[in-house]
Structure 1
């Protein structure tokens, strides 16, 4: 994530394309808008920012209070589609396209190990669990978006273990991916699991116990028959979260791309290509131009992808400027 959210990486990628294409690029520091002229074409690109308010992440198209990072330029403002607004709608779409999705059940009657989710929401906040079917573990309903937020449907989703996957597309073509193993802690025979997790974050166990992530840590440990106050045996490992982006470790700033798309198993890459054809085709019918989107999933032990949800307003990886500009202005090889 540190590579994507570094402003200079975006500037470096835009400059590299502009140098190769002979384009004229101007940025307005007051608005952060980008203007690009090339081959008798002109486009204005809108900035987007990442912020955090009261512990919740948010995206903004303006440099407002609580913004902490820059997440890219696009030739349009925020998009809203049913595929990205409702997770259950996306799952039906992916199933119809022949792709794997976890089973879903009514929240009160799951048929296997499961998470409780809300069909609306983002940033991994409207989730509780995982829970084992039939276990006595206390279940917490998934939180809604709060007063004034969109409404949706609580549901139970089959819990798939594996690696978190996020794939970015421009149009129907994938250009960037992250595939993350779930964060783990290793026992030392002395420290509690809660203190080991807090140590990864660089905070005290007391502070971590009050954080928004602590309930999910407790549920993740309970799924493994453990508890936050338990001392983990020396050498034993336990995973402490399953959501994309939760690494529980500081990330050093980097100017090098961390794109893992080509490192994925062949079966995963084939599924990624099919998903792009399905979603990209649907969006092309709606907008008649290629747009940016990302799709989240889980890669299981067999290298197969189980798709979870779609985001029509994701962060823009710096690697995306070449395919975006090339589709708008023509390939630099022409």
Structure 2
């Protein structure tokens, strides 16, 4: 095998070796960002140039110009995170923004967001002391990102199998752990520029289907192929084991024929290969009426709060659970999320004015 072929093989395996792919294939494809910027620039007669030394984008239109800072999705020591530098462990491009990293309490502290959302009349799961949950629950640290500082779910009345790890770094590294009501439903993530919702993902829990003879482990190998051997034993395996234990299963259990076994409830864990999709996968306009109203309400509430701190619109995303009745239960707000390519037109309209006739 040539060195180049060996690197290609290692790279293919490493896509799975630390964590299952995130549900962001369309969002994290660099060409989709370029397409969106080009489409707007062509329509508005704007100039756009990219500086490959720092990956900054400069856009000029209507006697104005702005520089946009890049951000990347990276993975190190089994953990996903965002960075503004093109480091060796960067694995995807996640957008240009006209400002750098922003922080605020609603994003840094999950308990602060829950209190804020409840006061605004938004639906949030119940929360209890970590040692006194009163229903099916998960354990959470008040800080953290990408769903790492979570364990569970656990059945009502049962002791937790493990405690959430401390956040890797940053404010709140020693924050308290609390129990949160476990709400079943589809993972929902909605993106906003200012108060305007412009993109959403809805993700059902990934499932395996039992055949009455194969173990969960064997079914997982069938789903993931050779990469399953590398993935099992990674930092993601405990989350899979929590999900199975909640269903009274284990990796070596044999589910009954046709039994659906779900693998994870956290957003982005699809247990499926990436799809190189050049077209928007937003489901915002396909949301049930009640859920869409919930999205608009949370966007208006958060944006109004952020106006007290920032003089101009900023990007944020809110995570929730969409239950079987069409109700959204809100979980947390992200201050520095991935930018879906659909958002550039909204950002450019703020900076350069509305689209010309």
**SS at structure 2 position matched to 1:269:** helix
Cα distance, 1:95 vs structure 2: 0.5
Q: Name which of 218, 221, 236 aligns with 2:241.
A: 218
8 A Cα contact 1:79 1:313, kept in partner: yes
Aligned to 1:6: 29
When residues 295 and 62 of structure 1 are mapped into structure 2, their CA distance, relative to the original with a 3 A threshold, is same
**SS at structure 2 position matched to 1:120:** coil
Aligned to 2:282: 259
Mapped to 2, the partners of 1:75 and 1:173 lie a distance apart of 17
Aligned to 2:345: 322
**SS at structure 2 position matched to 1:4:** coil
Alignment gaps of 5+ in structure 2: 1-23
Q: Name which of 310, 315, 319 aligns with 1:287.
A: 310
Aligned to 1:37: 60
Aligned to 2:103: 80
Cα distance, 1:146 vs structure 2: 4.0
Aligned to 1:297: 320
Cα distance, 1:209 vs structure 2: 3.4
- Cα deviations by residue, 1:288-323 (Å, 9 ceiling, x for unpaired): 100000000000000000000010000000000011
Mapped to 1, the partners of 2:296 and 2:337 lie a distance apart of 19
Superposition map of 1:6-25 within 5 A = 6-25=29-48
Q: TM (normalized to structure 2)?
A: 0.90
Aligned to 1:308: 331
Aligned to 2:165: 143
Mapped to 2, the partners of 1:148 and 1:4 lie a distance apart of 26
Cα distance, 1:199 vs structure 2: 3.4
Aligned to 1:124: 147
Cα distance, 1:205 vs structure 2: 5.5
8 A Cα contact 2:134 2:157, kept in partner: no
Mapped to 2, the partners of 1:17 and 1:206 lie a distance apart of 44
Q: 1:235 aligned to 2:258? A: yes
8 A Cα contact 1:198 1:208, kept in partner: no
Aligned to 2:13: none
Q: After alignment, is 217-226 or 258-267 more displaced?
A: 217-226
Q: How many residues align?
A: 333
**SS at structure 2 position matched to 1:287:** coil
8 A Cα contact 2:138 2:152, kept in partner: yes
Mapped to 2, the partners of 1:196 and 1:280 lie a distance apart of 44
Q: TM (normalized to structure 1)?
A: 0.96
Cα distance, 1:44 vs structure 2: 0.6
8 A Cα contact 1:129 1:216, kept in partner: yes
Q: After alignment, is 254-263 or 184-193 more displaced?
A: 184-193
Mapped to 2, the partners of 1:202 and 1:284 lie a distance apart of 48
Alignment gaps of 5+ in structure 1: none
8 A Cα contact 1:197 1:248, kept in partner: no
